[in-house]
Structure 1
Amino acid sequence: MPDLLIAPRHTAHLDRAVEALRLVHEHDRYPLTWPDDPHAWLTPEGALGAWVALADGVLVGHVMLVDGKLVEHADRLAEAAGVSLTGLAGISRLFVTPAARGTGVASALLERVEDAPTRRGRRLALDVVDDGGPAVRLYERLGWTRVTDGPATWTTPAGTRPHTAAYLSPR
């Protein structure tokens, strides 16, 4: 992998982030449904910050920190962490382009979020579709603790509620 830079996401990165997201969607079906407005999907209400991974200037990854109440199973996560909902911050919109997989990009993005000033005083949490896929394996390899699981509050294009798992960060 060329030199990797993790940088705060700026408006100028959004078009390239959408291009990277499209590659991920076509390869992995993440997100399951392509958003009507991908720029808005990458800039949701409740966002606390976002970062991009640039390999020799090419955007190869993205991660966002959101208000913890936006994470699936937030009540159970807060209880397990011993904090209120305002004491959580959620990992969201984490993706790495197919060509950059296996090079440490996702780990570097998660590390950057763990050190983010907007995270201070909050426990990191996340939810993921519980399909036993690469994302689940990544979080577990990095020491995230699975707290709970259950049906999502959202539906797939087929109208089903996928099974999701919720995790707390190791630190």
Structure 2
Amino acid sequence: MIIRPFTDDDLTGAATALVEIHDTDGYPVEGVDDPKAWIKSEGVLAAWIAESSGRVVGHVAVTKPQGEAAADLWAEQSDDDVDRIGVLARLFVVQSARKQAAGRRLMEAAMSHARARGLRLVLDVMEKDAAAIRLYERLGWRKIGETIHHFGSGETIPAVCYVSPDRLT
């Protein structure tokens, strides 16, 4: 398993993995009508992929805050300026790679990146994604609140907001 920075050459493989994950886990809840656009969304500061035997099996990004509840909650709770907050986003790992610590290793890459840039990371996660919540908590992320995620044509789903475990300075 290799964790490395995402390049444009990885987009097709990452999109294929995302569609697979949506089929097995329902992530993202918004669906995957245009997986490439979802992966390459605006505000991405950096991204990484997990690769196994030449196949993209996972992805994570650090983005600028763009209205995520966790970023707003953390800014209120900590008095951190919004330019010191990053969002851990677009984390997904295909089922066959989950026992190889791909999720943990992708998160560690993102956290290291944030630490080097003095960013505090936050994230929103749907309550239904229990395995992801367990991973975040094992890595020391702390729950800072709850929210309702809005998507589609008026659909909603409960979500939990987390902050990274240490001051990333």
TM-score (norm 2): 0.90
Confirm whether residue 169 of structure 1 aligns to residue 169 of structure 2: no
Letter in 2 for 1:42: I
Aligned-residue Cα RMSD (Å) equals: 1.8
Q: Which residue of 1 aligns with 2:96?
A: 99
Change in Cα spacing, 1:148 to 1:79, as seen in structure 2 (3 Å) is same
Change in Cα spacing, 1:34 to 1:131, as seen in structure 2 (3 Å) is closer
| Structure 2: distance between partners of 1:118 and 1:169 | 10
| Structure 1: distance between partners of 2:116 and 2:38 | 21
Deviates more, 1:74-83 or 1:36-45: 74-83
Change in Cα spacing, 1:57 to 1:68, as seen in structure 2 (3 Å) is same
Alignment check: 8 A CA contact 2:142 2:162 kept: yes
Deviates more, 1:136-145 or 1:31-40: 31-40
Letter in 2 for 1:161: T
User: Which secondary structure state, in structure 1, belongs to the residue aligned with residue 99 of structure 2?
Assistant: coil
Change in Cα spacing, 1:55 to 1:87, as seen in structure 2 (3 Å) is same
User: Which secondary structure state, in structure 2, belongs to the residue aligned with residue 102 of structure 1?
Assistant: helix
| Structure 2: distance between partners of 1:87 and 1:43 | 22
Gap regions ≥5 residues in structure 1: none
| Structure 2: distance between partners of 1:169 and 1:106 | 15
Q: Which residue of 2 aligns with 1:79?
A: 76
Confirm whether residue 40 of structure 1 aligns to residue 37 of structure 2: yes
| Structure 1: distance between partners of 2:87 and 2:28 | 17
- Cα deviation per residue 1:92-149 (whole Å; 9 max; x = unaligned)? 1000001111221000000001111696111011110123611111111111000010
Gap regions ≥5 residues in structure 2: none
| Structure 2: distance between partners of 1:44 and 1:165 | 22
Confirm whether residue 49 of structure 1 aligns to residue 46 of structure 2: yes
| Structure 2: distance between partners of 1:105 and 1:70 | 28
Alignment check: 8 A CA contact 2:70 2:122 kept: no
Counterpart among 144, 147, 155 of residue 151 in structure 2: 155
Confirm whether residue 8 of structure 1 aligns to residue 31 of structure 2: no
User: Which secondary structure state, in structure 2, belongs to the residue aligned with residue 30 of structure 1?
Assistant: coil
- Matching of residues 70-149 of structure 1 within 5 Å: 70-116=67-113, 120-131=117-128, 133-149=130-146
Alignment check: 8 A CA contact 1:129 1:163 kept: yes
Deviates more, 1:101-110 or 1:116-125: 116-125
| Percent identity of equivalent pairs | 35
Change in Cα spacing, 1:70 to 1:52, as seen in structure 2 (3 Å) is farther
Query: Aligned pairs, how many?
Result: 166
